[in-house]
Amino acid sequence: MTPRDWSVHELGSLFELKSGNTPSKKDSENWGGCYPWVTAKDMQKSQISATQLSLTQKGSELAKHARAGSLLVLTRGMTLFKRLPVVLLDAPASFNQDVKELRPKRTEVLDEYSLLLMQAMEPKVLQMVDAAGHGTGRLDTHRLKALPLPLPPKSQQSQIVQTINLWSQAIACCQKLIENARQQKKALAQQLLTGKRRLPGFSCAARHLTPVGELPTDWDVISIGRVATEVSVRNNSGAKHTVLACSKHVGFVNSLEYFKKQVFSEDLSGYKVIKRGQFGFPSNHVEEGSIGLQDVTDIGLVSPIYTVFETDPDRVDAGYLFKLLKTEHYRQRFAASTNASVDRRGSLRWAGFRSIKIPLPSLDEQKAIAKVLDLAAELESGYEAYRAKLELEKRALMQQLLTGKRRVPLLDESEADA
């Protein structure tokens, strides 16, 4: 039940829904100007700072335009199976046919409140998503128009917006801490993994030029194949071990948890076994940085396209090597080796991968470097966990405040002026 001083309106009575369009992409004179054109790719956040594509004046004249203060809502796309992208426009923009403008019809809804209201209604709206052609999500706009929206008086809308904004500001501050920690970790890794910075107990003033750049003279440079061996064990029994996928950012993840659905085969007998502590990469995606150290489960399975290998623990610390191979420098090396590969499918197989050279300090220094970088990663992960907690609490608060289940204390006019 909604509070007595609130009213309930169908969405279609508060907003006019307008569809977008796409000017002809065959006409180059339509594209590359200064007029923003919004697609699903631009709707990652609730505000749009820039768009990936833009229109010329000619293209803009052929496009559909949304007003400042309108909401843009994605109504078609795979994203709708996971979340509801909705943004509030602070300036006019044109948009494509997968997006609809929710143009306010009435003045009793504050612009910022309308955005929060649609975000709070996300669970109900996602229930209206159907699978259109080829499995693409499609939002039923007839049902969307009939969606009942609880609406408090404007004064309460303003207080709710202010309250939620405080949480948004806290999340933004936490995001800055994450970004700072990430940059510091990246800079620290660049220094430690090239020997430009040495940890206590390890020092060498002399440096020299090597095939992988300038390094301390007490470091070796070797091919991966000298300290690692390919492993190719098939799951012939068809055992139901955890199926893993490799993310370019973090490495191995549980496939079902990561994709939220099954993307692997029902028959796992041809999959490769990868044990905890072994490395692996999809041979056709390693140039994107998709390489991982398996630390998810004791025994996992990966697609047959993966290359699996293990290292000599007496010569290489797995944590050190993983951090080295996840750097941008080695992503570029993988891409170069893939382009040079004779494999016509654009894959980097073990024969080419094993010849890539790596810098190798003493085993003790490798372990020390890995430990310091792990601590830096823990700091970043701690901030990310705190941000996730704040976002969860903010969403729960929104569900309560925007449905009237929880009320915010109202300021009188003198308090508001102060």
pLDDT tens digit string along 62-117? 999 999 999 999 999 988 988 999 999 989 999 999 999 999 998 889 999 999 99
Residue 75: the pLDDT is 94
Residue 107: the pLDDT is 87
Residue 410: the pLDDT is 57
Look up the CATH superfamily of 155-209+363-418: Bipartite methylase S protein (1.10.287.1120)
The share of the chain scoring above pLDDT 70, in percent, equals 95
* The model's pTM: 0.79
What does the pLDDT look like over 128-168, one tens digit per residue? 998 765 568 899 889 999 999 999 999 999 999 999 999 99
- Asked whether the predicted pLDDT for residue 411 surpasses 70, the reply is no
Which of 230-239, 258-267, 287-296, 353-362 is predicted with the least confidence, judged by mean pLDDT? 258-267
Residue 319: the pLDDT is 97
Show me where the domains of the chain are located: 7-151, 155-209+363-418, 220-360
- Asked whether the predicted pLDDT for residue 412 surpasses 70, the reply is no
Give me the mean pLDDT over the 300-316 stretch: 96
Structure tokens that stand for 192 in this block: 């430690």
Structure tokens that stand for 309 in this block: 């290998």
- Asked whether the predicted pLDDT for residue 416 surpasses 90, the reply is no
- Asked whether the predicted pLDDT for residue 417 surpasses 80, the reply is no
The answer to whether 26 and 62 are in contact (CB under 8 A) is no
For domain 7-151, which architecture applies? Alpha-Beta Complex (3.90)
Residue 330: the pLDDT is 93
- Asked whether the predicted pLDDT for residue 217 surpasses 50, the reply is yes
Higher pLDDT, 387 or 403: 387
| Of 126, 121, 75, 123, the residue nearest 96 (C-alpha) | 75
* The domains spanning 7-151 and 220-360 adopt the same CATH topology: yes
Residues comprising the chain, all counted:
418
Residue 180: the pLDDT is 97
Compute the mean pLDDT over every residue in the chain, rounded to the nearest whole number.
Answer: 91
Residue 46: the pLDDT is 87
- Asked whether the predicted pLDDT for residue 312 surpasses 80, the reply is yes
- Asked whether the predicted pLDDT for residue 343 surpasses 60, the reply is no
The answer to whether 37 and 94 are in contact (CB under 8 A) is yes
The sign of the torsion formed by the CA atoms of 361, 366, 370, 371 equals negative
What does the pLDDT look like over 28-51, one tens digit per residue? 999 999 999 999 999 988 888 889
CATH class of 220-360: alpha beta
Residue 408: the pLDDT is 76
Residue 413: the pLDDT is 42
Name the residue type at position 185. Answer: K
- Asked whether the predicted pLDDT for residue 174 surpasses 60, the reply is yes
What does the pLDDT look like over 127-136, one tens digit per residue? 999 876 556 8
The share of the chain scoring above pLDDT 90, in percent, equals 77
Which of 60-64, 131-135, 223-227, 410-414 is predicted with the least confidence, judged by mean pLDDT? 410-414
Residue 406: the pLDDT is 85
Find the helix packing angle between 318-325 and 363-401, rounded to 10°.
60
Residue 248: the pLDDT is 87
Which of 53-62, 284-293, 409-418 is predicted with the least confidence, judged by mean pLDDT? 409-418
